[in-house]
Amino acid sequence: MSPRTRQILEFVLDNLVWFMLVFVLVVFSLFIPNYFQLGIFANIIEASSVLGVMSIGLALVIIAGHMDLSVESVAALSAMAVGILFCSSGIGIGVQLHPDWLMVPVSLLLALAVGGVIGAFNGFLVVKVKMSAFIITLASYIWVRGLVLVISGGRSAQDLAPAIRWFGIQRLIGLPLTAWIAIACFVVFSLIMAKTPFGRHLVMIGGNETATFRAGIRVNRNLIIAFVLAGAIAGLAGWLLAIRTSGATANLGVGLLFNAFAAVVIGGVSLKGGVGTLPGVYAGVLLLSAINTAINLMGLPANFTQVIHGLLVLAAVLLDAFKQTIRQRLA
Amino acid sequence: MKRILLSVLGILALAVATLTPAFAQSKGTVYYMVPTLLDEFQTGSVSALELFLKQVGYEMKTLNADNKTDAQQSQMNDVIALKPKAIILAAVDFNALKPSIEAARAAGIPVVEFDRQITSTPSDFTSVAGTVEIGHVAAEQAEALLKAKNGAVKGKILQVLGDPGDPYTLDIQKGFEEKMKAFPDVKIISLPAMQWEASNAGTIVADQMLANPDIDLIFSHAAHLSVAAVASLEAAGKKPGDVMLMSSNGAPVGLDLIRKGWLNVEVEQPLYAQAAAVAMFMDKVVNKQEIKPGDYDVLGLKSVVTKEAWGPNIKIPGAAITKENVDNPAFWGNQKPPTDTVKPVE
């Protein structure tokens, strides 16, 4: 194999998920009526905003060699906290701040704080008390969703303050501002992961925690920051979720965790830690969203959609495994 | 000091004596097995059943299965061991709970099925809204709305189902499509909002409004799904009335959407009446007396008790809520429990 061919092949393998995305979009555009239109592509980006943001936090922790199963429930709790305070119907108490725009930073800070606190709690138990991240965050997944139920009483908060809801309605170059927030998050965190010592240290910790510690890097501090960030980012996802649905229900975001895991894995992040980039994760999120949109447009019988969704995700993961095999042969 | 202590003890004794008759009046404890507390109908059912059962002399305890069949099976086993006066079951899974119902009845504990009808094994009483009938009512409303808009019953309907694993939504779909078959010029697009999650419904509506911009009517199988649908319509620049909307279950958020002009019709699942019917017949259930078939008045709604293969079954019709009657306190979505006391059926 010539060096040039090898170079091209490696480029394709490094960005396989993007090629898969393009392939899927072309196939769906050709075979699904009404799929090929700008509005649908904008919908794909918009629909992926909540999942995308949540996947960033999850990816950070997984790249660092751990796991955070609580992100879905944390997003739901943040959404409910924002909903209860800033919604005017249902259980919303309709808090009004003056000037109106003040509600945006306050609600955002609230969502980030809710997520950050739970992230810090998870991080403390995992890093300081040396407990399994899987168990601790699984417990948080359960008790945080329970807390949503407790504070909401199973009821919903609706009619989010227009000043906050504005982000879900206003569009910039055809995309709602919520989608731009998600894109901005991916850009910022991709740069953090690629260009800052913190990002590089997370990858090193995920690759070999002991070696990284011996190299003089503050492993514990970085890991706790990763957990706090994952929680706060999940809080942001909850804030976006509340904006998108104009409120919060007790079951808001149910099932997002598994989609976030699928997106992260499809995006090339290794569940063993130490491998993965955030642009790849974003491509994974877009791929899932493209599949969901295709299912929505195909109008298949309701009981088949979950099977098809699962099979398409499986196909994407198998393709990713195939990529690893080729990469090993190239090495 | 001694005197003060004696006085306090005396007051306490008096209070206990005063309260004792209230406890003495209690006819026993009934357990309610609620499938989940993540939706407003289920949460509302707990308070409604508690209220009405108290009026007829029973205490109620609730166990939440969190939508998990195995958890509900274990709860049933535990409750059977506690020997309550009766068990009210809203089953997570109809078939999986059949052995538990049989075990409870074999242990002499009557089982009342609430909201979710199980026909594969006998039970002591069933109180349901008639989900297929809710679909029928929805179809009648859709017929009227399309006729008013297009001059004839023609057009396109987007039907946003709940989770495809939930018979509640499948029955409504069945009833709705059954009736709409009479109108071949109406195209129905049906898509599920997995796990009844609102943002899934929002995505479906956003996608479909692009793929089928000529959609006349969106019918969501729960009010909270309509809220997300409205959010998507709003984001697409639509105003109230641009697209007709309809949903079923009558939750408070649905009634709010009617008041705001977004929702045309909400087909109510008569929560209060369903719960009141259970209380009305509880004495007969507990004492294993015969429940006679026929017409009954349940909170002003004409309801029919029939003798089915699985036991006595009361079906209470759902009502259509529109702008004209939205403030009627009889609708559970207005959250004003009926002031009239429920009386046991003689």
The residues, ordered by sequence, that sit 6+ positions from B187 with a Cβ below 8 Å of its Cβ are B155, B156, B157
User: Is B71 in CB contact (< 8 Å) with chain A?
Assistant: no
Evaluate the CA torsion angle A28, A34, A38, A39 in order and state its sign. Answer: negative
Residue B23 has pLDDT above 50, yes or no: no
Round to whole Å and give the CA distance between B131 and B136: 9
Q: What is the mean pLDDT of residues A243-269?
A: 88
Cβ B267 vs Cβ B317: under 8 Å: no
Written as one string, the DSSP assignment of B301-322 is EEEEEEEETTEEEEE----EE-
Does B235 contact A at CB distance below 8 Å? yes
Measure A228 CA to nearest chain B CA, in Å: 26
* Least reliable range by pLDDT among A162-171, A297-306, B29-38: A297-306
- Residue B1 is predicted with a pLDDT of 53
Q: Could you give the CA distance from residue B44 to residue B268 in angstroms, rounded to a whole number? A: 13
Is the per-residue pLDDT at B230 higher than 90? yes
pLDDT digits (tens, 9 = 90+) for A131-150: 999 999 999 999 999 999 88
Cα atoms in the Cβ-side hemisphere of radius 13 Å centred on B245: 35
Q: What is the overall mean pLDDT for chain B?
A: 89
Distance CA B36, CA B64 (A): 6
pLDDT at B19: 47
Identity at B185, one-letter amino acid code: D
Nearby residues of A226 by Cβ (< 8 Å), 6 or more positions away: A60, A61, A64, A66, A123, A202
Which of residues A15 and B324 earns the better pLDDT score? B324
Owner of token pair 């751990």: A66
**Residues paired with B113 in a beta bridge:** B89, B126
CA distance B187 to chain A (A): 12
Is B42 or B181 the better-scoring residue by pLDDT?
Answer: B181
The whole-number pLDDT of residue A319 equals: 75
A90 contacts in chain B (CB < 8 Å): 252-253, 256
A34-43, A125-134, B200-209: which has the minimum mean pLDDT?
A34-43
Residue A72's pLDDT band, with cuts at 50, 70 and 90, is very high
Q: Under an 8 A CB cutoff, do A250 and B39 touch? A: yes
Strands in A87-90's sheet, in edge-to-edge order, are: A87-90, A157-160, A247-248
Question: Is residue A126 within 8 Å of A133, Cβ to Cβ?
Answer: yes
Highest mean pLDDT among A9-18, A92-101, B159-168, B258-267: B258-267
Is residue B20 pLDDT above 60, yes or no?
A: no
- B197 at interface of A, judged by CB pairs closer than 8 A: yes
- The answer on pLDDT for B239 being more than 60 is yes
Percent of chain A with pLDDT over 90: 58
**B206–A250: do the CB atoms touch at under 8 Å?**
no
Between the CA of residue B218 and those of A146, B197, B248, what are the distances in Å?
Answer: 32, 17, 11
pLDDT tops 80 at residue A320: no
As a dihedral over the C-alpha atoms of residue B63, residue B64, residue B65, residue B67, rounded to 10 degrees, the angle is 150
The number of residues in chain B equals 346
Rounded CA separation B32/B142 (Å):
35
Q: Which of A296, A300, A313 has the highest number of chain B CBs within 10 A, making it the mutation to test binding with B?
A: A296
The pLDDT score that the predictor gives to residue B22 is: 44
Predicted pLDDT at A296 = 79
Q: What is the pLDDT of residues B59-91, one digit of tens each?
A: 999 998 887 777 888 889 889 988 999 999 999
Mean pLDDT of chain A: 90
Phi then psi for A38, rounded to 5 degrees?
Answer: -60, -40
If one compares A16 and A203, the residue with the highest pLDDT of the two is A203
How, if at all, do strands B311-315 and B125-128 pair? parallel
The reply to whether residue B211 touches residue A297, judged by beta carbons under 8 angstroms, is yes
pLDDT at residue number B164: 81
Q: Kindly identify which residue of chain B lies nearest to residue A243, measuring between CA atoms.
A: B231
Maximum alpha-carbon separation in chain B: 88
Count of CB contacts below 8 A, A vs B?
A: 125
Confidence of residue A125 (pLDDT cuts 50, 70, 90): very high
pLDDT in tens, B142-157: 999 999 999 999 999 9
pLDDT in tens, B269-321: 899 999 999 999 999 999 999 999 999 999 888 889 999 999 999 988 788 99
Residue in B with minimal Cα distance to A148: B38
Between B90 and A319, the higher pLDDT residue: B90
Q: Which two tokens stand for residue A307?
A: 């099977």
With 80 as the cut, is the pLDDT of residue A23 above it? Answer: yes
Per-residue pLDDT reduced to its tens digit, A161-192: 999 999 888 888 888 899 999 999 999 999 99
The two tokens of residue A204 are 């090193």
Q: Over the stretch A210-241, which tens digit does the pLDDT of each residue have?
A: 999 999 999 999 999 999 999 999 999 999 99
Q: Which of A149, A168, A292 has the CB atom closest to B235's CB atom?
A: A168
| Confidence tier at B21 by pLDDT (50, 70, 90) | very low
Select the residue from B156, B161, B173, B199 to test the A interface by mutation, using most A Cβ atoms within 10 A.
Answer: B199
Neighbouring residues of B160: CB distance < 8 A, sequence distance ≥ 6: B191, B192, B193, B201, B204, B205, B218, B219, B220, B221, B225, B229
Arithmetic mean of pLDDT, A294-305: 72
What pLDDT does B117 receive?
A: 84
Using alpha carbons, list the distances in angstroms from residue B338 to A264, A265, B302, B341. Answer: 51, 53, 16, 8
Q: What is the DSSP string of B99-159?
A: HHHHHHHHTT--EEEESS---SS--SEEEE--HHHHHHHHHHHHHHHHHHHHSSS-EEEEE
Report pTM. Answer: 0.80
